[in-house]
Amino acid sequence: MSERKDKIILRGLKENNLKNVDLIIPKEKIIVFTGLSGSGKSSVVFDTLATESRRQMILNYPLYVRNQMPRYERPNANLMQNLSPVVVVEQRPIGGNSRSTVGTYMDIHPLIRLLFSRIGKPSIGSANDFSSQSSFGRCPECGGFGEVIAPDLDKMIDCSKSLREYAVKFKPLSPSGWQGRWMITGGLFDPDKPIKDYSEDELQLLLNGPKEGERVFAPFHTKNGPQPHEWDGILPSFTRLYINRDISKLKEVTEDDVLAVSTRFLCSTCQGSGLNPKVLACRINGLNIAEYDQLELTELLEELTDIKDPMGESIAQQAIPHIIQLVEMGLGYLSLSRKMGTLSGGEAQRVKKLLVIWGAASTILHTFSTNQVQDSIQKK
């Protein structure tokens, strides 16, 4: 009986194009499914094995928790027995925060920040102070994003049209959005006059709001009647509502919508690092933390091995094994600053393989959307 539990038993698989397939899959082994396109590899691995494992796992949670989780239907099969919890590693972009990089995703960058806080000169403070997301470390110009996004007037406004004719191309500020409707009904502007015919003062008020020190209000019509609402101009409003935040988290519009009417450029203050000048002045062997982040992993490995300070060496030795693993996976050309969202499907899959394989328990079943396993992945 114990021998049987070391194997996953699948009988009568009929998902998609499978025709009553029977399989016995040994556990704690690297199993490769190969075959022509459409032969049923994904139907077995993802649509049957992974789906049923996830379904069984979710059934262990209370009902109110299950209602908040993805729902999986039982695959079309006669018997699915002895399944293990599953981690699916697919060839698709890695989601998450738009600031996520190879260094943060693989948990290497916290060690680099710790390294600079201990042996970097001149010393500036704690490891957290070397983060572009900390109040001390972030660049005052770009807020830690490394780039500046500004509204582009030529992309956003068609001066040959009136407000009612959708002169404002950005949907939330056009007549289809509440802000656009407010511009038409608030009484501050002639909604039928082409923008090119506005006087200089009218154009200034429309685009940039009232002059410094002045405040302008216009009635905003609600179900409870007109309510006074302060007008601050199309460009300041756009910047406040759609740029001065993580635009990947916006719900009412997409990031592409915002960028379509904007111009983005490298922050001149931090040169794309997202860090303030005090942080960038701290160096180890002539390099600051931003320059460390931009090194290819093979070059970073050399820098870390050259550290001779006893305290710094002990920290570097914690990061070196992780970097070696990435290099052995053929990713030595990446840098810690590479945004995760820019990785190709194959690159993202290799990064995720390392994250789950080297730290996961041996009873976890890992499924990969590839027909071969890298030679550098070896069983511990």
Q: What is the pLDDT of residue 90?
A: 61
Question: Positive or negative, the Cα torsion across 345, 348, 353, 354?
Answer: positive
In degrees, rounded to 5, the angle at the alpha carbon of residue 232 between the alpha carbons of residues 231 and 238 is: 115
Are 4-93+346-368 and 152-233 equal in CATH topology?
no
DSSP 237-256: HHIIIIISS-GGG-SSS-HH
Mean pLDDT of 90-115: 78
Q: What is the pLDDT of residue 2?
A: 46
Q: What is the pLDDT of residue 357?
A: 62
Q: Where are the domains of the chain?
A: 4-93+346-368, 152-233
Predicted TM-score (pTM) of the model is 0.60
Q: Which two tokens stand for residue 108?
A: 């290497």
Place of tokens 């979710």: 58
Mean pLDDT of 200-224: 88
> What's domain 4-93+346-368's architecture?
3-Layer(aba) Sandwich (3.40)
Integer Rg of the chain from CA: 28
pLDDT at 146 over 90: no
Calculate the average pLDDT of the chain. 85
Place of tokens 């070696």: 324
Question: Over the stretch 277-327, which tens digit does the pLDDT of each residue have?
Answer: 999 999 999 999 999 999 999 999 999 999 999 999 999 999 999 999 899
Lowest mean pLDDT among 162-176, 217-231, 259-273, 357-371: 357-371
pLDDT at 105 over 50: yes
The answer, yes or no, to whether the previous bond of 122 is cis (omega within 30 of 0) is yes
- In this structure, the chain runs to a length of 380
Assess contact for 214 and 201: CB atoms under 8 A: no
Q: Which CATH number fits domain 152-233: 3.40.190.180, 3.40.30.10, 1.10.8.280, 2.102.10.10?
A: 1.10.8.280
Q: What is the pLDDT of residue 247?
A: 67
Mean pLDDT of 240-256: 77
